[in-house]
Amino acid sequence: MSDQTPEATSPEDVEKHQYDVVVIGAGGSGLRAAIAAHEAGAKVAVVCKSLLGKAHTVMAEGGAAAALGNLWPDDSWQVHFRDTMRGGKMLNNWRMAQLHAQEAPERVLELEDWGALFDRTKDGLISQRDFGGHRYARLAHVGDRTGLEMIRTLQQRTVQLGIDVFMECTITDLMRSDGKIAGAFGYWRESGSFIAFEAPAIVLATGGIGKSFKVTSNSWEYTGDGHAMALRAGAKLINMEFVQFHPTGMVWPPSVKGLLVTESVRGDGGILKNSEGKRFMFDYIPEYFKDETADNEEEADRWYEDKKNNRRPPELLPRDEVARAINSEIKAGRGSEHGGVYLDIASRRSPEFIHKRLPSMYHQFKELADVDITAEPMEIGPTCHYVMGGVEVDPDTEMSGVEGLYSVGECSGGMHGSNRLGGNSLSDLLVFGKRAGDAAAAYVSGLGGVRPTLSETDLKSAEELALSPFDRSGEGSENPYTIQQDLQQVMNDLVGIIRTREELAQSLGEIEKLKERAEHLEVSGDREYNPGWHLAIDLRNMLLVSECIAKAALEREESRGGHTRDDHPGFDEKWGTLNIALSLNAAGDGVDLATQPLPVMPDELATFFEGDH
């Protein structure tokens, strides 16, 4: 520890800015919200923890799901809506799923108008590919780097419009006045100096929670910041028990364990095999999907020739089903050399096809694992990828229960229910990013110039809390890296793909111990270039969000989507109509839990599901 504790600056020394709308996060949903708010006349800023363009939207390689009907004219928003609801095991907010399915085509075409270069059909239309859980091939794509093209397009438009961007700037707290949003407080990561934004509307677009888990596709930014800040500001979180473990992450070498392997590999014909060479997914088709899933190789292979009339391959079941199947094979001792299973496209497609359709995957495996996917199978295994849970919002405006606070993308809950279909994330970002930006600008306009103001007392408190890790020393001090490592192990071992009451209860006890240890976090050095200090601040969010996941998972005594209870297999009718909502407790040091009924779907939409199991 340095000889001198960095002193808190006085509130007058905090760098201050005033905007109408501040968007926290510069992924697809954040940039789309910023563009919409700007075009609606608001003064907008985008604040991002990392660099502009380094967003997890880039990881969404396969495509954006939208019922354009370019390959299959029978596709429609109604079919897309049904697929999304069934993929989420009917726990989705029906209105969000409806709006998403209806508006996704327009948002994708709008992206094309702004310069996105999609792959084309022979007729010159936007090409669409297959993904798990989708009845028709409907993912508009750019090879296997669609998210990158989306970010490039949105980023270019953001800069072109002159929207202010604050890069490498972390927001630590949301500020309120009389229960309404007044702004946000944070710090510059390079210098450690503090910054405050006065704004009556905040759009959270901070992404997910993956860095609470040991094996994840998420990078360092994904520490649940938006989830935790929303909780502390008075909003509710829903669906937090539902964590998506993407079926296919790299398992070797250790330096890249968890790195995503796009679902496009399976969408373009790749199959899953165990160490005995068996194509095992035929053994794991759930009753819920038996009517539309092929149960033999011949029928499965016909799907790629005539998708309209044949049942889809079992490798294209929703992600939760595939991840559980892979996990079962590994646990049964039929895993690969490095603890995964094999994903084989080399025996199914020509090298030319793979180079054209999956160029990023080819280079990823060649450079990082010295594996040529045109000649040999990939070793893959489940990796923590996405959280379906997030801030409870109004489906039309994305406003939370706190006036002036909006949430979009992965830190918003409701749209995906208990499981997200691949490809729905990119179109989700576009649809609800635009809606949130429009609504936030309209909200500010409706204030008529009467804006909440930042409290100097609140700013001072936020500073002192941010600097507290520098002010601890002596016996019992804790290292932030050790606490994060211990938290990741707890979540991996006790709150992973397969859960039990005993293990979940144990995890909550371990998280409480970690919260107590975090009270003694100590960081050394000063505020410039200090990653240990940054992690100490992030841990406050990670511990709170991890408690939400474990507590909700313990409460839901059934298996559904991204939540599997070994002691409660299968659906429970009681839980099929309930959300678990979490809020900050009165003491501010933990979460309270309550169940609430799902919004009731109108009859004209409910008819789409008649005859379902």
Q: Cis link prior to 253 (omega < 30° from 0)? A: yes
Alpha helices in 344-392 (DSSP H): 351-357, 359-369
**C-alpha atoms less than 13 angstroms from C-alpha of 137 in its C-beta half-sphere:** 22
List Cβ neighbours of 397 (8 Å cut-off, separation of 6 or more).
Answer: 406, 435, 436, 439
Cα(55)–Cα(129) distance, integer angstroms = 23
Q: Which two tokens stand for residue 433?
A: 């990013």
Strand partners of residue 381: 249
Q: Which two tokens stand for residue 469?
A: 């890790």
User: Residue 181 is which amino acid?
Assistant: I
Q: Is 516 left (phi over 0), alpha (psi -120 to 50) or beta?
A: alpha
Catalytic pick from 157, 266, 435, 517? Answer: 266
Cα(517)–Cα(359) distance, integer angstroms = 46
Cα(408)–Cα(390) distance, integer angstroms = 9
Cα(496)–Cα(476) distance, integer angstroms = 30
State how far the alpha carbon of 613 is from the alpha carbons of 216, 371, 600, in Å.
Answer: 33, 42, 19
Cα(502)–Cα(459) distance, integer angstroms = 42
Strands (E) in 146-262, as ranges, are 164-166, 169-177, 180-188, 194-198, 201-204, 237-238, 243-250
List Cβ neighbours of 370 (8 Å cut-off, separation of 6 or more).
Answer: none
Q: Active-site residue 82, yes or no?
A: no
List Cβ neighbours of 6 (8 Å cut-off, separation of 6 or more).
Answer: 192, 467, 470, 526, 527
Closest by CA position to 319, among listed 414, 421, 399, 241? 421
Cα(328)–Cα(347) distance, integer angstroms = 24
Interstrand relation of 139-140 and 64-65 (parallel, antiparallel or unpaired) = antiparallel
Q: Active-site residue 385, yes or no?
A: no
Closest by CA position to 406, among listed 26, 31, 33? 33
Sign of the dihedral through C-alpha 4, 9, 15, 20:
positive
Judge contact between 240 and 376, C-beta under 8 A: no
Judge contact between 251 and 340, C-beta under 8 A: yes
Alpha helices in 88-145 (DSSP H): 94-113
Catalytic pick from 246, 499, 517, 556? Answer: 246
Q: Say which residue the tokens 């992404």 belong to.
A: 207
Give the number of other CB atoms < 10 A from CB of residue 4: 8
Strand partners of residue 417: none
State how far the alpha carbon of 102 is from the alpha carbons of 72, 76, 107, 411, 413, in Å.
Answer: 17, 9, 10, 22, 19
Q: Say which residue the tokens 């992690």 belong to.
A: 535
Cα(128)–Cα(142) distance, integer angstroms = 9
Active site residues: 246, 266
